[in-house]
Amino acid sequence: MFEYCSLVSGSSGNCHFIKTSQASILIDVGISARRVVKGLEEIGESMEDVDAIFISHIHTDHTRGLEVLAKNYGFMIYGREETLESLNVASKRRMRVLNGPVDLEGLLVESFELPHDAPSTLGFKLSYEEKILSIATDLGYMPDEVMEMILPSDFLVLEANHDEELVRMGPYPYSLKRRILGELGHLSNEAAGRVISQIYKEHERLRFVMLAHLSEKNNYPELARMSVEKVLKEEGIKVGRDMLVEVAGRDHASGLYRIL
């Protein structure tokens, strides 16, 4: 058994749940501890059973609930050294620096650095019984070395943060628009579509994509889905036949997906 659930994902908070027959982990806890606990309960899971939390980077939409959760539960905390140093967690003994793969009862967790404007921002590749789940959000573009890591994915959680035209025409100050659209910003809908297309055409084992980390101001779930599907169609890839594409909710859980 290898399952994934997006508890929430968006510009205001992110939390991913992964479960195997032997282990349960969270990647990021960018919502309140109460919402994390409630979200797990809604899908029939318990925070008591979470073995570890992996933190991708220091931005609040990925760390908000960690301090309170750490006071009440006994999980391990993994992240890059500078990320861990910035966290307000009382027990440093529970922290583990990510310098290589982590094996949790057969669930192999590998990390890779992403181009973003926070130090040591990470994406994750999770392998279990020959199936691969990859998570890549908060990246301004897709580096070749990251693409190489996630090419064999069966299930991909990928950022589709914004529509470029909505950003350009929107009310944000110019400096923020530059940040979002820059190489240390966020992946657009169209860029996400191109990444998905490349992965599928090179490996053809990708069967499920969860579009994640959508901007509240510069994107909409249906716009993200339609934009990605348009790119895939232009490349001869038919959603529903060749793969499934869903959009993670910003305020509700996706339900548990079994990775087959």
Task: Give me the residue spans of the domains in the chain.
Answer: 2-258
> Which fold would CATH assign to domain 2-258?
Metallo-beta-lactamase; Chain A (3.60.15)
Residue 241 has pLDDT above 90, yes or no: yes
Task: Summarize pLDDT for 156-183 with one digit per residue, the tens.
Answer: 999 999 999 999 999 999 999 999 999 9
**What average pLDDT does the segment 197-217 reach?**
96
User: Which residue stretches of the chain are H helix?
Assistant: 33-42, 60-63, 66-72, 81-86, 144-150, 164-169, 174-181, 189-203, 221-234
- pLDDT number for residue 90: 76
CA atoms within 13 A on the CB side of 142: 24
- pLDDT number for residue 205: 94
**Gap between the Cα atoms of 198 and 118, Å rounded:** 27
Interacting residues of 148 by C-beta distance below 8 A, sequence separation 6+: none
- pLDDT number for residue 203: 87
Q: Is the pTM of this model over 0.85?
A: yes
Task: Answer for the pair 132, 140: CB distance below 8 angstroms, yes or no.
Answer: no
**Gap between the Cα atoms of 222 and 43, Å rounded:** 24
**What average pLDDT does the segment 186-212 reach?**
97
**Cα-to-chain-centroid distance, residue 239:** 21
% of the chain at pLDDT higher than 90 = 97
- pLDDT number for residue 72: 96
- What is the average pLDDT value for the chain, to the nearest integer? 97
